[in-house]
Amino acid sequence: MKLLILNISLFLTIFGNATATIYETRFPGVTYDDDAWTLTTTNLDQGHYQSRISLANGYFGINLAAVGPFMDFDVQVDGDNVNGWPLFGRRQSFATIAGFYGHETILNGTNFAWLYQYGEGESAISGVPHWAGLLIELGGQLLNASVDSSQISNFSSTLDMRRGLMAWTYDWTPSGSSSIHVLYEMLVHKLYVNQAAVRLTVTPAEDSNVTIIDVLDGDCAVRTNSTGTGFDQSSAAIWSAVSPYGVANVTAYIYSTLTAEDDRCLDTLAQVTSGPFLGSNESSIAQGVNAKLTAGQSTTFTKFVGAASTDAFPDPSNIAKMGSKAAAQAGWDSLLKSHAEEWAYVMPTDSVDSFVLPSTGKVPEDPDVVELHINAVTNPFHLIQNTVGENAIAAANNNSDLDTHSISVGGLASDSYAGFIFWDADVWMAPGLVVSHPQAAKQIAGYRAKHLDQAKDNINTAYQSSKNQTGRFSEGGAVYPWTDGRYGTCTGTGPCFDYEYHINGDIGLQLFNYYAATGDTETFKDQYFPIYDAVAWFYAELLTFNSSTETYGLMNATDPDEYANFADNVGYTLALIQSHLQTANVLRDRLGLPQNATWADTASKIKIPTNEEAKIVLEYAAMNGSIQVKQADVVLIDDFLGVTNEYSLPNLDYYAGKQSANGPGMTYGVFSIVANEISPSGCSAYTYDLEGSQPYTRAPWFQYSEQLLDDFGANGGTHPAYPFLTGQGGANRVSVYGYLGLRLSLDSLNVSPNLPPQISYLRYRTIYWQGHPVSASSNTTHTTLTRLPSSLANANTTYLTNAIPVTIGADTSVAVSLPPNGTIVVTNRLIGYNATIDGNIAQCKPANSSQAYLPGLFPLAAVDGAISTKWQPVFSNITSSVIVDLGAPGVGINITGFHVDWAQAPPMSWQVDFSTSADFSASSTAYNSTNVTISTPYIAANADDITAYVGNTTDVSLPSGVVATRYVRLSISGSQGAPSTAGASVAEFAVLRDGGGRLVPNGVVTSL
């Protein structure tokens, strides 16, 4: 990672920043400007979904080709260009409008196919014509997504996240012709949600005759029926209308108005009726103009788009038409100004985390920290562009229908997972948003409120399940489906019974978090508490009472770990139900409603399954030791529910070792938060933070993939969702809920700060508690909290003039007062400086390796003081090394031994060397061995036993000691694990000083 000061013509042209501070990223050709919040790539990667940007404004969105604002289709990679379950369609660009779901009898994939006999069908998201295309034709050659890369030179593309602006610039040289310099700029208007615009500026090297083609490409309008197209020459407009399958009374309209800098160009305007850009769908339509370009002179063409559907607007045709026309009348400059102003309002600088050091004004020169700093902008940006702000709702005549759409797994520019709404929005995306962008999170809750009546009706489908006992359920309850689209009904992909009952409590968590963050009692009481209360009613009736043990249990359910379906007494869900019932009574009391004694009694008799020998909560009662976990499950109890107990640390260690490499990319953010909360020593929270982001981040736009590996042949057969907003939402939680230790509660602002040694300063996003903004920042040893003005409109009025009570950690009995405009300072816990292994001077020190390692199994994991993380090279047939920088305080210390935890794959041989230089040009060997004993051998007969995590360990004593120099290197070769092709693993490498001691920020002391 390098810090560069560059003068870039693209920034001069588009972004007006002559001298920019640029950080190189780990992706070749991709740089980041921290002042402008821009990502720039000079690498053209065509036909791959990872390189396509998704743009949206919360109402409509679109996915765009790497080379410009075009419709794109994936080329096969290793025989694969398929999107995943349940559609299994071809990977291609997608565009849609919020809520534009269809109705089909069955999809290609499902969970409970037999439920289709009851006729509910499925509600997958439908597409609209790809509306951004503005193509150039010269001499029969076309500039579109599939243009020959050999014709493109000086390529650069930039995403401006401060202004929500996308740009592509390059030289296009068609075969046999001179070059044309091309600049595309594009926005999806954040304030005027029915509008978007694409501007094309062309500058030829020689006089040229070109055709500019404005396209609405119907190949993008998947799962729809065309209801009409039109061309209006007098207004230079085209339009297309489509209805989703099975929903004839809903129609989406897309209008495009073409303008030219030189109005004479429009004299040649005509409908274009043939060409490859029209695809094979009857909803396609195009118009074009012939233009005579003069050498060296720039000419600009702009298309202004309007979009609307029946779901939010009773007259979508007129809304879309007027949106396109109004945008054209306003012009590009005016649109960009109001659009950028709205982005500045919804995502101001203080609403994102910052790792910039106050002393230098720059991010530390650590590539991992730089990437976290970039993610602190990209993650909320990719989420927030799928939400509608309060100003936008007001600008649309206070259209409340705009505030009732949740966020799907891939957002408005992806049909991954059929655009379904899962728990992903409620507990992975919403928590990081609600504390800093409460309006963005509000629509996630609004979607659940919109479907409450249907959730109540869903109780009546219990007869389709194992819970079909007459009279078991009463009218007071509500049950939500696992997947949801237009209707909120129980379906084959989204059953309500005998599956993931936790979805209901997850929704409850989201509603509670909204109340705690905003203090908006009126909205909560009127719209959200009825959901919370109805879920409690359902949960109390869902449980089964065991009269012999006098406990309540849950039968035939699936916890978040979907590798273990249809189990009894699932751990997370039972803990969630218990918490939900207890909290429902707390909320009833707070809102002046009577307590429900039945719920209190039921909650007190819920038995959560545990294994007392291993001291862990079981994922399900019949679980054995052979379990492999798809995604975070039991560990969610400590994170989402905040229930820290004697099982917490063993849970983390045990289930980290059982985690599948093929699980979705949101698990490790949870592990980071929990590790920072409960670990008594070390810095594994930082390791997990990186593990939850870096392996899933894709170039160039820092969008996440669902999987570590995108190759379905290598990842267990999954075609990854993309972009995977669930993972980005999970990573967006870490700083606030992890390092600051925020736990949302109604009675106090509860924090428990701890920065890992790798992060020396963190300015957190402005957070809201009970509607009142608080600024927070941490250095190594202390955290500062400051009350800010400008509370939310519906904030809890108690604290407008009174102090906020601040509590620290688990002890909430003692509160510190934070008055209006006041500041308090809290001492950090400094757990990274507590030595897990007495006298280990390598713990949490910088570590790197020049050999390839498995995704997410970083070299720093070998020294983070935790056995739940590990470093593992890719290959066992070469020598791999991890080099640890002990720092100046480590030089000259007498080393008396080493301790290594090899996890489950000890090497065949290993060696430890010291050196005064990082390149080990001169070094001394302290120890080597070609005989590594397996201390915990695998015994097949015991595979089902549940035992606390125990790794294979080696302890070495150096009777005469060795003197440490600045750098120490651990080298390993061979592997005794399986598969034998992968390298050996290192869970912990300890360099032990004479006399023991603990670590402190400024060095090493000898007393504990």
- DSSP calls for 280-297: T-TT-EEEEEEEEEPTT-
Burial class (CB in 10 A: 0-12, 13-18, 19+), 571: buried
Local confidence band at 773 (pLDDT 50, 70, 90 cut-offs): very high
Q: Say whether pLDDT at 841 is over 60.
A: yes
Tens of pLDDT, residue by residue over 36-66, are 999 999 999 999 999 999 999 999 999 999 9
Local confidence band at 938 (pLDDT 50, 70, 90 cut-offs): confident
Q: Say whether pLDDT at 1 is over 70.
A: no
CATH class of this structure's domain 377-739:
mainly alpha
Mean pLDDT, range 634-661, rounded to an integer:
93
Residue with tokens 């097949």: 940
Q: How high is the pLDDT of residue 999?
A: 58
Local confidence band at 21 (pLDDT 50, 70, 90 cut-offs): confident
Local confidence band at 218 (pLDDT 50, 70, 90 cut-offs): very high
Spatial CA neighbour of 196 closest among 226, 225, 172, 216: 216
* Separation of alpha carbons 345 and 347, rounded Å: 6
Local confidence band at 263 (pLDDT 50, 70, 90 cut-offs): confident
Mean pLDDT, range 13-29, rounded to an integer:
75
Local confidence band at 20 (pLDDT 50, 70, 90 cut-offs): low
* Separation of alpha carbons 1008 and 1005, rounded Å: 8
Local confidence band at 940 (pLDDT 50, 70, 90 cut-offs): confident
Q: How high is the pLDDT of residue 816?
A: 96
* Separation of alpha carbons 763 and 350, rounded Å: 9
CATH 2.60.120.260 positions along the chain are 838-1005
User: 260 near 301, Cβ under 8 Å?
Assistant: yes
Q: How high is the pLDDT of residue 10?
A: 43
Residue with tokens 């390189």: 51
Higher pLDDT: 1006 or 755? It is: 755
* Separation of alpha carbons 831 and 723, rounded Å: 35
CATH 2.70.98.40 positions along the chain are 52-75+88-346
CATH of region 838-1005? 2.60.120.260
Contacts 24+ apart (CB under 8 A), 347-353: 347/161, 347/380, 347/381, 347/384, 347/437, 350/765, 350/766, 350/775, 351/380, 351/436, 351/437, 351/765, 351/766, 352/376, 352/377, 352/380, 352/436, 352/765, 353/735, 353/736, 353/762, 353/763, 353/764, 353/765
Q: How high is the pLDDT of residue 864?
A: 98
Residue with tokens 């990854």: 720
HSE value, Cβ hemisphere, 13 Å, CA-based, for 432 = 33
Q: What 3-state DSSP class applies to 57?
A: coil
* Separation of alpha carbons 320 and 240, rounded Å: 10
Six-digit token string for 156: 């650069």
* Separation of alpha carbons 387 and 37, rounded Å: 19
Tens of pLDDT, residue by residue over 679-707, are 999 999 999 999 999 999 999 999 999 99
* Separation of alpha carbons 831 and 886, rounded Å: 18
Spatial CA neighbour of 307 closest among 433, 192, 143, 186: 192
Q: How high is the pLDDT of residue 812?
A: 86
CATH 1.50.10.10 positions along the chain are 377-739
**Region for residue 642 given its phi and psi (left: phi exceeds 0; alpha: psi -120 to 50; beta: otherwise):** left
Local confidence band at 74 (pLDDT 50, 70, 90 cut-offs): very high
Q: What 3-state DSSP class applies to 451?
A: coil
Spatial CA neighbour of 409 closest among 50, 706, 53, 724: 724
Look over the chain and give the mean of its residue pLDDT values, rounded to a whole number: 95
pTM, rounded to two decimals? 0.96
Tens of pLDDT, residue by residue over 846-895, are 999 999 999 999 999 999 999 999 999 999 999 999 999 999 998 999 99
Other beta carbons less than 10 A from residue 499's beta carbon: 21
Residue with tokens 């003069």: 294
Spatial CA neighbour of 296 closest among 227, 431, 204: 204
In sequence order, what DSSP letters do the residues of 384-421 get, joined into one string?
Answer: HTTS--HHHHHHTTS-GGGG-----SSGGG--GGGG-B
Q: Which CATH entry fits the domain spanning 52-75+88-346: 1.10.3720.10, 3.40.50.300, 3.40.50.720, 2.70.98.40?
A: 2.70.98.40
Q: Say whether pLDDT at 159 is over 90.
A: yes
Spatial CA neighbour of 728 closest among 757, 755, 698: 698
As a whole number of Å, the CA-based R_g of the chain is 29
* Active site (catalytic) residues: 562
Q: How high is the pLDDT of residue 2?
A: 45
Other beta carbons less than 10 A from residue 238's beta carbon: 28
Mean pLDDT, range 987-1000, rounded to an integer:
85
Residue 23 φ then ψ, to 5°: -105, 130
Spatial CA neighbour of 391 closest among 635, 153, 111, 190: 190
Mean pLDDT, range 286-311, rounded to an integer:
98
Share of the chain above pLDDT 90, in %: 90
Share of the chain above pLDDT 70, in %: 97
Strand partners, 167: 158, 185
Other beta carbons less than 10 A from residue 811's beta carbon: 10
Q: Say whether pLDDT at 12 is over 70.
A: no
Say which residues have a Cβ less than 8 Å from residue 939's Cβ, sequence separation at least 6.
Answer: none
In sequence order, what DSSP letters do the residues of 649-670 get, joined into one string?
Answer: HHHHHHHHHHB-TTS-TTHHHH
Angle between helices 529-542 and 502-518 (to 10 degrees): 150
- Kindly state the helix (H) or strand (E) to which residue 914 belongs, with its residue range: strand 909-915
